[in-house]
Amino acid sequence: MLTLSDSLSQRRQLGRRYFMQIGGAALGSLALPMLNSRQAQGGGARSPVTGKSVICLFQQGGPSQLETFDPKVDAPAEIASVGGEIPTSVPGIRFGSSLPQLAQHAHRMAVVRNYQTNTGHGGVAPLVSKQLGDASIGSAYARVAGVNHPETGLPNSMFMIPQSIDGDQKTLGERFGKFDAVGGLGKAYAPFVPGGKGPLQEAMNLTLPRDRFDNRRNLLKSLDGARRQFDAVVEMDGLSGIQAQALDLVLKGVASAFDLSKEDPRTVARYDTSQYYNPRLWSYAGDKTRNNIPWYTAHTKTLGKMLLLARRLCEAGCGFITIHSEFVWDFHADSNNVAVAEGKQLVIEPFDHAVSAFIEDCEDRGLSDDILLVCCGEMGRTPRINKNGGRDHWPKLAPLMLYGGGLTAGQDIGRSTRDAGEAVGVPQTPDDLLATIFHTLFDYAEARLIPDLPTDLKRALASIEKNPGVLAIR
């Protein structure tokens, strides 16, 4: 852990040995690799990344296609969308009744109605791909782009959980799979988890006496002084690239990107989804409560702010962010999970609010071409409602929505059968989604020139490059 205290910053010169200790002992266990040599060395070499960012909002548990983007109100009662459907800003396109805000943004989005995951149980697909050697998309991105942004020092790949916003919220951890899997790429390329555990999280903490911490001016003075001495040490003595990069992660002030208090309070309020917190909807059979209450609590209290934080981090240079809102989309209507009618209020409505706020914010800030938002889960829900008013796991069709990245503009892709049970014709798959994400992120011509890129990853990039992906490029 890096410590900047009164005695250190005012009485002792920060010399080469001290910075070596920070970069080596304090952060050495992190083993941060430098950016690939083409980026690190500069020299006019082009970057293997486009400069765009992707946010994947992962709807763990399997969102219902019928109550979101593919309603079937004319189907029999045991199949039809619970609560009906509503028109959107695109003539002829209708959404489930719990998405009134997103319905007004349909002309800015792409909805895929023939997306098929072929998995019927909770898991990590499509975030972890066989094409990538069982590595996560975020890990593969970090291996190509580098672990940290070359200018800000911000981690290039992050995995966000409710604890990233509120440390009191519970998290599923790896109960349903290892979302930060690195395959054969190496642990150093695992996504950074704000609010999680690990050496980097500890290393980013600044420990200061309370009276100094409370004095913002003195804190900034301490950091500015440390920066000047650090730059002098680098120039005179030369730290290793890894040590310099590790220290820069702290001293360049990247922590400010994580600070939502720097946002306009009106923007924070616009994103806030805590209004959907409603314990009354958790009662079951009169005297029972569902075991998944902590996940519904985390979803309603943090989803909007996780999207706001993701937008801030993308603006600061992060290339790939996964948002995991916990296992709340599993509408079985059993002792653990809510029924569809309850899930509409507890899960779908806060999703509608948060994603709409994100879209409006990006439009206002001119970010619609710079950030691609992907919303999907690992599967869909059964067309037929079960006897308790829930829908069960369904691998043959799942909802998929995308916004931004310079790719979307009211696209309506594919069709499903009358009961929203299967794709009509050839379905879109997680491989097609991966291609869309990679086309957004990478300059393939430059990525192929990275000299130390693992052979398996080079082969995967070459294969994915040939896939046109889900979306049409504007």
Instruction: Provide the domain limits for residue 368.
Output: 49-194+263-465
3-state secondary structure at position 56: strand
User: Is residue 210 a part of any domain in this protein?
Assistant: no
pLDDT at residue 256, as a whole number: 81
User: Is residue 281 a part of any domain in this protein?
Assistant: yes
Closest CA to 431 of 125, 216, 23, 212: 125
Rounded to whole angstroms, how far apart are CA atoms 420 and 396? 9
Rounded to whole angstroms, how far apart are CA atoms 471 and 474? 9
Domain count, the chain: 1
Tens-level pLDDT at each residue, the chain (474 residues): 344 444 333 434 444 434 334 333 333 333 344 344 334 434 456 899 999 999 999 999 999 999 999 999 889 999 999 999 999 999 999 999 999 999 999 999 999 999 999 987 767 878 999 999 999 999 999 999 999 988 888 899 999 999 899 988 877 655 666 888 999 999 899 999 887 654 444 444 444 444 444 454 554 555 555 556 655 655 545 555 445 555 555 555 577 888 899 999 999 999 999 999 988 876 654 555 667 788 889 999 999 999 999 999 999 999 999 999 778 999 999 988 999 999 999 999 999 999 999 999 999 999 999 999 999 999 999 999 999 999 999 999 999 999 999 988 899 999 999 999 999 999 999 999 999 999 999 999 999 899 889 999 999 999 999 999 988 654
Phi, psi (rounded to 5 degrees) for 13? -70, 135
pLDDT at residue 172, as a whole number: 66
Cβ distance 246 to 43 under 8 Å? Answer: no
Angle at 414 between CA 412 and CA 419, to 5 degrees: 110
User: Is residue 215 a part of any domain in this protein?
Assistant: no
| Residue in the block written with tokens 């109100």 | 73
Cβ distance 82 to 344 under 8 Å? Answer: yes
pLDDT at residue 311, as a whole number: 98
Exposure letters 132-166 (e unless 16+ CB within 10 A, then b): bbbbbbbbbbbbbbbbbbbebbbbbbbbbbbbbbe
User: Is residue 9 a part of any domain in this protein?
Assistant: no
User: Is residue 134 a part of any domain in this protein?
Assistant: yes
Q: Amino acid letter at 56?
A: C
Beta bridge partners of 404: 372
CA atoms within 13 A on the CB side of 368: 17
Beta bridge partners of 160: 323
pLDDT at residue 212, as a whole number: 42
The CATH number linked to 82 is: 3.40.720
- 258-265: long-range contacts (C-beta < 8 A, 24 or more apart)? 258/194, 258/309, 258/312, 258/313, 260/305, 260/308, 260/309, 260/312, 263/308, 263/312
DSSP letter for each residue of 293-329 = HHHHHHHHHHHHHHHHHHHHHHHTT--EEEEE--S--
For the chain, what is the largest distance between any 2 Cα atoms, rounded to a whole number of angstroms? 78
Question: Is the overall model pTM greater than 0.85, yes or no?
Answer: no
User: Is residue 202 a part of any domain in this protein?
Assistant: no
pLDDT at residue 210, as a whole number: 45
User: Is residue 42 a part of any domain in this protein?
Assistant: no
Cβ distance 66 to 398 under 8 Å? Answer: no
Residues with Cβ within 8 Å of residue 140, at least 6 apart in sequence? 129, 132, 185, 189, 457, 460
3-state secondary structure at position 358: helix
Element at 41 (helix H, strand E)? helix 37-41
